[in-house]
Structure formats: structure tokens, C-alpha cells
Amino acid sequence: ETTPAPNFIRNQLREEIEGGQVTNIVTRFPPEPNGFLHIGHAKSICLNFGLAEQLGGQCHLRFDDTNPAKEEQAYIDAIKADVQWLGFKWAGEVRYASDYFEQLYAWAQHLIREGKAYVDDLSPDEIREYRGTLTAPGKPSPYRERSVDENLALLEKMRLGEFGEGEKVLRAKIDMASPNINLRDPILYRIRHAHHHQTGDQWKIYPSYDFTHGQSDAIEGVTHSICTLEFEDHRPLYEWFLNNLPVPCKPRQIEFARLNLNYTLTSKRKLKLLVDEGIVDGWDDPRMPTISGMRRRGYTPASIRKFCEMIGVTRADGGLVDIAMLTHAIRSDLEDNAPRAMCVLDPLKVVLTNVDEGFEEVYEVPGHPAREDMPLRKVPFTRELYIERDDFMEDAPKKFFRLAPGKEVRLRNSYVIRCDEVIKDAAGEIIELRCSVDFDTLGKNPEGRKVKGVIHWVSAAHGVPMEVRLYDNLFMVEQPDRDKDADFLEHLNPASLSVCQAIGEPSLAGAESEARYQFERVGYFCADRHASTPEKLVFNRTVGLKDSWAK
Ligand code: ATP
Ligand code: MG
Ligand code: MG
């Protein structure tokens, strides 16, 4: 078993609880509903909800919905479903930053009255120019000294929609010479004549992320506001609002390093492009690193939670986590919990010439080698079978221990057979093998010779036809978006999906959607949530059998 990786936030919170600085931990997970959640978000979810679970606190689900142009109800629904599927429960109702628009507006007026905010008429380009750079201080806007009354009146008109988008903004009056650019009079409100999924057409101005986030935390009584490192430079501003507004409490912001995974994009914007361009079959395409894509691929909630525990939580940025660690987590879960079955992905017919037509024998074999709680499977054996095409070689090298002309192999759970004849069609393609059975080999070694190879097989008369989708990495390079100027689409893997018409053993008949199996010798598979029905099975390959993660 793997030892838990360090989680500095959990350690810190434990100390605060033991030291009595905090009694009831309140965290929140604050997605913007502008796309589906991905594996990076899973890290944040497991951290925030996990802390509440492990330390006896509570975690809120709050939609950070201040940018209506990019947000949609469909994303809200998908995000809620993903969090629930991962097995977490948010405290109380789902919350929305937009629930607090009225309060935030009152707090904006408060800042104006205190001489700490002003309406600015500069254009977005001018604001950028006036803001200065890391090496040059900014300069004050000519509108910075407007009177309180004028500012209050202008803000009210902004709210009512009396100005066009971009004509005015509300800014905090902090310090145009601050070495931290976030403090150079940050924008509090922008004009947006947009319809909002929660508040409708009520608002013509929308608060910025910075003006919304900390105050929403304070309204909800959040004790620890945990976010990724790119917000470290925003922390002084987060605190400035809490210190300059009559908020009910003062949450603390703690930053951690975001998850970056090799061969994987963790940017909603780029994932959305894959969806919009039709490169994948939607947000939950099994190749997508979205939580819903991973679910469709066959990942379990436990495996994702295990992975998030394994990677730990630190402030060390820049590292790439090996995707082999993620596949290790699902593989070891399925190794322990998925029933076994035989399935031939690329069928080659075998006729057993010394078995009578109509002959039938049924083996009862374990559902799982180590799980007696799983029901036995009934595996029928008949004259005609299918084996995997690449388990046969016409000109086999010495070390090939599977089937070849004149050679023997064991059928898993059954007899040893010998290949006597290879049948080809007019084009020279092998279409059938004629083999004979050694009936003295069921459950015992053949007399006087060693047969090393064991192959899987399915009775032709009883096999269940199914579609099997083999997935591979979407990208061929470890960091598809490493070069900021290049198009990450150039690194797409053209072989990320291949489809086969497979034949599975009868125990697979009627498999429920999302049922997971190990197809022996082949890999782990999951019945597709959308496409598979008990009558017409479609299986997705979750992951292969071989573990390449070096512990
Ligand atoms: P965007 O800013 O493009 O909308 P985002 O990834 O910041 O994308 P949010 O919805 O704002 O998306 O993220 C919700 C929470 O998930 C935030 O607290 C964010 O810090 C966290 N998060 C996002 N990506 C990662 C990641 N790769 N690793 C860890 N946490 C992440
Ligand atoms: Mg965001
Ligand atoms: Mg974000």
C-alpha cells in the first residue's frame, strides 16, 4: 500500500484545531460554470471536501458566476453531478456568488462613501496603459478624484444600464505605485448588458472576480479559502477588501500548487476548443480528462480520490505528474474489484475437428481469482470457437508460445489444442484454423510434453457480439500546450480511438451500463454509459493490464 503523500494544508489545519485557533472548519469549492470539471478540479474538490470530511467541518459548493457571457446552466448541472459522483456532499444548498450581488453592490457604495472607490471613464486600453508595468509605476486616472456624490450617482446609472459596455468601470482607490500591480486601483465592476443564468436581466454591471471572491467567502463564514498559486499575488487585495468592508468574518486564503499531468490538458478553454471543433465526442468523451469523461472511460470515484491522495498537496509549482500514477490508481482498484471475463477483440475462427457438432461442455469458473463473493461464471465449450487473431502466427519464432501450425496451446480453463491446418481465402487471408483437442488435458498437464502458452477464447455458438472502443492518450507529447505560440492541436494522437467488433463470453450478455470487467489477458473495460444497452453492448477500454508506474 502507498503511504499518504504530504498535504501541508491538512497538517496546518490540524494544528489550528489542536491549538484552538479554529473550531469548525468551513471550506468551499468555487467553480465557474463555464465548462466541465477536469482532473485538476478533482484535486481541488478532494482537498476542500476532503478537509471538511476528515477534520469534521463543512464544505460549500459555490458557483463563481460573475461572467454571464461564458456561463451556462448545462455546466452547473454537470458540475453538481460530478461532485456527487465523486462521493462528496456539499453543506446546505448549492450557493452562487450571484446570490450576493445586492450585498456586493452595497459594499461598493460603502467604499465610495469612504473615498476608497471611484467611477473611471478611461477605456480598457487606457486603463492598461495607466496601470504601468512591473518596473514602472502606474499613474492616476484623471477621474480618480471624483466626489462621493458623483461616484454614487454614476454607479447607480451604470447599474441601470444608462451607459454602454466599456464606457465606465468602478475601481478601488488603493495605490497606483504599488509594487503589486493587483493593488493599482483594481476594477470592481464592469458594464455587461448580458443575460445571467441566475439573475436574468436584473443587472447591467457585474463584479470582478477579486471583488466577489473574498466577500462571498466572508458572507458564508468560510474559514479557509483554498486556491491555486496563481492567486498568491491577489492575496493582498483579497485582504484589503476584508479589511476595508464591514464583513462578518475574515477568511484566510491559502494557496497550493495546481495539478499538471503529462499527455493531458488541464485548461477549460482548451478542452472547450476540442469540443467545439468536434475533435472529441463532447465534454464527456472517454479520452477527455474531464471527470465525466473519466467516468465514461471506466474510472471509479475511489480511484480518482486515491490518485488525489497519492499526489499530495504542496506549494512546489511546476512539476508534471506522470499519468501512469493515475492509471495505476484505476488499475489497482479494478484488479481488486472487477469481475473477469473472456472477450476476443479480433476474432479468428477455430474448428475443433475431433469435437462433434452439437457437443457442449460448460465450465464453472471463478468470477474473480481472489473474490469468493463474486458469482461463478458459466463458460461453454463447443466445436467452433474464436481466438484472438494475434494469438496465432503462421511463421512463429521459437519464443512464440501461443498457437502456430503443428504447435499446441492451452485454452484458458479448458483443454490443450493443436493446430493442424490453416485455411485461407482467395486473397491469402487466414480465415480459419483446424485444430484438434487433447481430451486428456482438462485440469492437468499433457503427457510427456510442456505446453507453456494459455490463450483466451469464446464459443462461437454462445459468444456475445459487441463493439469495443480502444482509447489511447489524446496527445502524443507530454506537454501539448508547452509552447505558447504553437497550436497544441498539432500534437493530437491520430490513433487515440480504434473500434473493434469483438465477441465476449456469455456472462457478459445483458451487462448494465457502466459495468466494469477485466477482459482476461486484454485489459479493463467498462460498458459505455450512453451507447451500451443490454441488447447491444458497447465497451470502452479503461486501461490496459500492464502497470508502468514506478513506485
Ligand atoms: P478558468 O479560469 O479558465 O475558468 P479554472 O481552472 O480556474 O479555469 P475554476 O472553475 O475557476 O476554473 O476552478 C475552480 C477551482 O478549481 C479553483 O479553486 C481552481 O483554483 C481549482 N483548479 C482549477 N484547475 C486546477 C488544477 N489544475 N489543479 C488544482 N486545482 C485547480
Ligand atoms: Mg476561472
Ligand atoms: Mg479560476
- pLDDT at residue 320 tops 90: yes
**pLDDT level of residue 3 (50, 70, 90 thresholds):** low
User: Within its chain, how far is the Cα of 39 from the centroid?
Assistant: 4
Instruction: Give me the mean pLDDT over the 317-324 stretch.
Output: 90
- 268, 306, 402, 469: the active-site residue: 268
Q: Does the CB atom of residue 43 touch ligand 1 within 6 A?
A: yes
pLDDT of residue 486: 82
- pLDDT at residue 197 tops 70: yes
Ligand 1 atom closest to the Cα of residue 45 is: 16
Q: Which tens digits make up the pLDDT trace of 376-385?
A: 999 999 999 9
DSSP 359-380: --EEEEE-SSTT-TTSPPEEEE
Q: Is 173 annotated as a binding residue?
A: no
Q: How many CB atoms lie within 10 A of CB 156?
A: 12
> Among this protein's residues, is 268 annotated catalytic?
yes
pLDDT of residue 2: 58
- pLDDT at residue 334 tops 80: yes
CA triple 329-332-334, angle to 5 deg: 105
Q: Which tens digits make up the pLDDT trace of 505-531?
A: 999 999 999 999 999 999 999 999 999
CB 343 within 8 A of CB 365: no
**Residue ranges of domains in the chain:** 8-256, 268-337+467-504+510-543, 341-463
Return the CATH number of the domain spanning residue range 268-337+467-504+510-543. 1.10.1160.10
Q: Is 43 annotated as a binding residue?
A: yes
CB 268 within 8 A of CB 240: no
Q: Does the CB atom of residue 34 touch ligand 1 within 6 A?
A: yes
Q: Does the CB atom of residue 533 touch ligand 1 within 6 A?
A: no
What's the number of CA atoms in the CB half-sphere (13 Å) around residue 164?
2
The CATH label, of 3.40.50.620, 2.60.120.560, 3.40.1280.10, 1.10.287.310, for the domain at 8-256 is 3.40.50.620
- pLDDT at residue 46 tops 60: yes
- How many angstroms is it from 328 CA to the middle of ligand 2? 30
* Cα→Cα distances 210→76, 124, 161, Å: 21, 17, 22
For ligand 1, pick from 36, 43, 44, 86 the residue to mutate: most ligand atoms within 8 Å of CB: 44
For ligand 1, pick from 28, 37, 41, 323 the residue to mutate: most ligand atoms within 8 Å of CB: 41
Beta-bridge partners for 169: 120, 190
Distance CA(496)–CA(274), nearest Å, equals: 14
Q: What is the sign of the dihedral through the CA atoms of 167, 173, 179 and 182?
A: negative
Strand positions, DSSP E, 251-370: 252-256, 340-341, 343-344, 347-352, 361-365
Q: Does domain 341-463 have CATH number 2.40.240.10?
A: yes
Q: Does the CB atom of residue 234 touch ligand 1 within 6 A?
A: no
Coil, helix or strand for 451? coil
Q: Does the CB atom of residue 317 touch ligand 1 within 6 A?
A: no
The percent of residues above 90 in pLDDT, for the chain, comes to 97
Distance CA(69)–CA(105), nearest Å, equals: 20
CB 222 within 8 A of CB 28: yes
Check residue 396 and give left, alpha or beta (phi > 0: left; psi -120 to 50: alpha).
beta
pLDDT of residue 549: 77
pLDDT of residue 317: 82
Beta-bridge partners for 519: 341, 523
pLDDT of residue 250: 98
- 157, 252, 258, 371: the active-site residue: 258
For ligand 1, pick from 7, 28, 29, 32 the residue to mutate: most ligand atoms within 8 Å of CB: 32
Q: Is 498 annotated as a binding residue?
A: no
* Cα→Cα distances 150→106, 205, 517, Å: 16, 18, 69
Do the two domains 8-256 and 268-337+467-504+510-543 of this chain adopt the same fold?
A: no
Q: Is 455 annotated as a binding residue?
A: no
Distance CA(241)–CA(250), nearest Å, equals: 10
- pLDDT at residue 254 tops 90: yes
Ligand nearest to the CA of 42: 1
Beta-bridge partners for 418: 408, 436
Query: To the nearest whole number, what is the mean pLDDT of the chain?
Result: 97
Q: Is the ipTM of this complex over 0.90?
A: yes
DSSP 390-418: GGB-TT--TT--SB-BT-EEEETTS-EEE
Ligand nearest to the CA of 254: 1
Q: Which tens digits make up the pLDDT trace of 113-153?
A: 999 999 999 999 999 999 999 999 999 999 999 999 999 99
DSSP assignment letter at 259 = P
Ligand 1 atom closest to the Cα of residue 43 is: 29
Q: Does the CB atom of residue 41 touch ligand 1 within 6 A?
A: yes
Ligand 1 atom closest to the Cα of residue 44 is: 30
Q: Name the more confident of 329 and 547.
A: 329
pLDDT of residue 464: 98
Q: Does the CB atom of residue 184 touch ligand 1 within 6 A?
A: no
Strand positions, DSSP E, 384-496: 384-388, 408-411, 416-424, 430-438, 454-455, 457-459, 464-471
Ligand nearest to the CA of 230: 1
> Among this protein's residues, is 32 annotated catalytic?
yes
DSSP assignment letter at 70 = G
Instruction: Give me the mean pLDDT over the 225-254 stretch.
Output: 98
Beta-bridge partners for 531: none
- Determine the residue type at 82: D
H-helix or E-strand containing 118? Answer: strand 117-120
Q: Is 2 annotated as a binding residue?
A: no
Cell match 456527487: residue? 84
H-helix or E-strand containing 381? Answer: strand 377-381
For ligand 1, pick from 72, 82, 228 the residue to mutate: most ligand atoms within 8 Å of CB: 228
For 198, the grid coordinates are: 441566475
DSSP assignment letter at 168 = -
Ligand nearest to the CA of 70: 1
Question: Atom 1 in ligand 1: which residue has the minimum CA distance?
Answer: 268
- pLDDT at residue 14 tops 80: yes
Q: What is the sign of the dihedral through the CA atoms of 207, 210, 211 and 214?
A: positive
Ligand 1 atom closest to the Cα of residue 231 is: 20
Q: Which residues contact 423 (CB under 8 A, 6 or more apart)?
A: 430, 431, 432, 433, 434
Q: Which tens digits make up the pLDDT trace of 78-114?
A: 999 999 999 999 999 999 999 999 999 999 999 999 9
- How many angstroms is it from 258 CA to the middle of ligand 3? 11
- pLDDT at residue 56 tops 90: yes
Q: Is 32 annotated as a binding residue?
A: yes
pLDDT of residue 162: 98
- Determine the residue type at 537: L
What is the SS3 string spanning 506-524?
HHHCCCCCCCEEEECCCEE
Q: Which tens digits make up the pLDDT trace of 383-423?
A: 999 999 999 999 999 999 999 999 999 999 999 999 999 99
